[in-house]
Amino acid sequence: MSAQRMLFFTVAALLLTGIGLTGWREVHWFLYVVPAMLVFAGISGICPGLMLYKKIGFK
């Protein structure tokens, strides 16, 4: 496993821990999108956010 994939999993775990400590019913549904994208990126190696920024024009 690469360091980049491990970083995706770590950030997703921290976000989900924060959601859990706040309360699963109190947070907005959109806050679940970020950990889902990061877990997907960690498993597949394809980061949707990075792809979006590259299409916009960032390097």
Rounded to the nearest 10 degrees, how much is the dihedral formed by the CA atoms of 18, 25, 37, 30?
-110
Domain coordinates in residue numbering, the chain: 3-56
Please name which of 4, 11, 56 lies closest in space to residue 37, comparing C-alpha atoms: 11
Angle between the N-to-C axes of helices 48-56 and 33-44, in degrees from 0 to 180, rounded to the nearest 10: 100
3-state secondary structure of 27: coil
Per residue of the chain (59 residues), give pLDDT as tens: 689 889 999 999 999 999 999 999 999 999 999 999 999 999 998 888 888 889 999 87
The model's pTM is: 0.77
